[in-house]
Amino acid sequence: MARRNDHSRSEIHQMALEAARAIVREEGLSGLSVRKIATRIGYTGGTLYLVFRNLDDLILQLNAQTLEQLHTCLVSALQGCQGVEQCLLALARGYVRFAHDERPLWDALYSVRLAADEALPEGYQARVDALFGLVEQALAPLHGAEQRRLASHVLWGGIHGITRLALDDKLDLAGPTRPEALTESLVVNYLRGLAAG
Amino acid sequence: MARRNDHSRSEIHQMALEAARAIVREEGLSGLSVRKIATRIGYTGGTLYLVFRNLDDLILQLNAQTLEQLHTCLVSALQGCQGVEQCLLALARGYVRFAHDERPLWDALYSVRLAADEALPEGYQARVDALFGLVEQALAPLHGAEQRRLASHVLWGGIHGITRLALDDKLDLAGPTRPEALTESLVVNYLRGLAAG
């Protein structure tokens, strides 16, 4: 295969992330390899190692983009909602829909484990914080910052768990319970409990 | 390796499941293979295929035993508890502790996907139902059967999600929130919301 040398480092960086996204969408994270990405963009694996530390680094940068995409979806889901309950239901539905529509990318978000000595890519933590910020903002009328922080994590963990089980077809085993009914019950009753507390 | 022919079919069945459990505990589900199980019990892979349809069948039967083990742990966690909240907190803590102590076996519970034409092993569904039965029984003072059923699934999904994120070190990324505080907040406020509903 002929090498192409007509792209800048930052163009190769972006092309590689786009190729990786396409491969993960088609084959899942387990189908991703440096070789496949290189082939798709017409460069050698060696070139990719000039731009990324390793495959894990590339996946983390892909995940950072996915977090941004999820943020955009959730901001759009919040459009026009009013009140704590309505906004949190919108966020929950937006999260479930994103996981459903972009399942391999969503799986990839939770598949990577950092080695103890590895740092997150620049801006990664800020993207995670921005997502929690949406939840905490929706919770703003409730109590203090500490409780909002706790509640945002409870809701995230809870909605995430129900979504995970639904996508893995585990809810069927436990009876024909629709995930939408479960997430709605979680949000509505948890909020009611907080308000009564 | 010399073949051993001094065990009955049902003994080989039980020995294989015990060997599989030990391997999963040591190496995780991804480390499990028919060859490794056979080596450990001193039989050939061919013998195992006389007793199990395939590796997935063996894993499902292992999971059935794990469900029973989890049931025993949860029944013991319920000892002496009184009232809906106290009993559900005991169940939640028992589930989190089991996932922590038996992580590879707990992971294996959620790792298997049935092919569309594959049936669950005998008694599997009954074991799942028995676990939900514990939650629904704890919820008994609350409303009707339909609501208890929904609530048991919400709580399971929610606690499962928080546990999953905690064990995968994902909660750290989202801030230093202790999983115990999250599960307690979920149970207490969700129940309070149900009672107020």
Question: What ipTM goes with this model?
Answer: 0.87
Give B120's contacts in chain A (Cβ within 8 Å).
173
Give B182's contacts in chain A (Cβ within 8 Å).
150, 153-154, 157
Report the C-alpha gap between B52 and B75 in whole angstroms.
30
Q: Which domains does chain B carry?
A: 1-52 (1.10.10.60), 65-196 (1.10.357.10)
Average pLDDT, chain A: 90
Place of tokens 């809810």: A171
Interchain proximity A158–B156, CB inside 8 Å: no
Report the C-alpha gap between A18 and A16 in whole angstroms.
5
**Numbered residues of chain B with Cβ closer than 8 Å to any chain A Cβ:** 110, 113-114, 120, 125, 128, 132, 149-151, 153-154, 156-165, 168-171, 173-175, 177, 181-182, 185-186, 188-194, 196-197
8 A C-beta contact, residue A114 and residue A108: no
8 A C-beta contact, residue B14 and residue B43: no
Interchain proximity B154–A185, CB inside 8 Å: yes
Place of tokens 């969503």: A106
Q: Which residues contact B148 (CB under 8 A, 6 or more apart)?
A: B136, B139, B140, B142
pLDDT one-digit tens code per residue, B178-188: 888 999 999 99
pLDDT one-digit tens code per residue, A125-181: 899 999 999 999 999 888 788 888 899 999 999 999 999 988 887 777 666 678 889
pLDDT one-digit tens code per residue, A79-132: 999 999 999 999 999 999 999 999 999 999 988 777 767 778 888 889 999 999
Cβ–Cβ pairs < 8 A, chains A and B: 137
The CA distances from residue A79 to A94, A96, A102, in Å, are 11, 17, 21
- In this complex, which of A150, A159, A174 lies closest to B177 when CB atoms are compared? A150
Nearest chain A residue to B160 by CA: give it.
A161
Which candidate, A165, A4, A121, A180, places its Cα nearest to that of B156? A165
- The residue-averaged pLDDT of A185-197 equals 92
pLDDT one-digit tens code per residue, B64-116: 999 999 999 999 999 999 999 999 999 999 999 999 999 999 999 988 777 76
Q: What is the CA radius of gyration of chain A?
A: 20
> In the predicted model, is pLDDT for residue B176 greater than 70?
no
Q: Which residues contact B50 (CB under 8 A, 6 or more apart)?
A: B9, B12
